[in-house]
Structure 1
Amino acid sequence: MTSDADVFMHATTAERAALIEARLAAALAPVASIQITDDSAQHAGHAGASAGGHFSVTIVAAAFAGKARVARHRMVYDALADAMQRGIHALAITAYTPEEFALLPR
């Protein structure tokens, strides 16, 4: 039986982004918005870059209400725990509640 982490390890960059999005959407539902960016090209020559392991995520979820930034990041890391060990080298997280996101300048 193949685990999600094994699938993640052998996935293309687009498939990895889709897996990250699916994991976060399931763990933090309801999610208003998720944006995943592969930043690996910006890290050429760094560890993990050749395997496409550098990502940024901006996520808007009601689950973050009342949580400090560190707690929000922990929620994201928990949702991606096995992928963090087997395919994500670096993850930059920006996490908002829907109310916070609505107040951002456009």
Structure 2
Amino acid sequence: MKRFLLVSSICLTLAFGFAVSGFTADGQELYRKCAGCHGADGGKFKSKAEADILAALNGYREKTFGGDKKAIMESIAKNLSPEDIQTLAKYISTL
């Protein structure tokens, strides 16, 4: 248990450090968190343009967009930087 807490603390510290330093993940890396619900291949995103995905992600972040599952998406999008949202939208549009 102590080892788990130590490793978790180190990972969180590194993640925070990267976020503070302006680190922006690549789209594929960011999308891994989305794949659990949206599928590895992007499912319904296949016909969406980058601008539409960008508008949706920004809307979720600002709590001005969404349907039934919007609370889940709002909680995820609020942790994305504007750069991450741009990167993610660009990646998703290529799926």
For normalisation by structure 1, the TM-score amounts to: 0.32
Larger Rg: 2
Instruction: Report 1 or 2 for greater relative contact order, CA contacts < 8 Å, sequence distance ≥ 6.
Output: 2
The answer to which structure has the higher strand fraction is 1
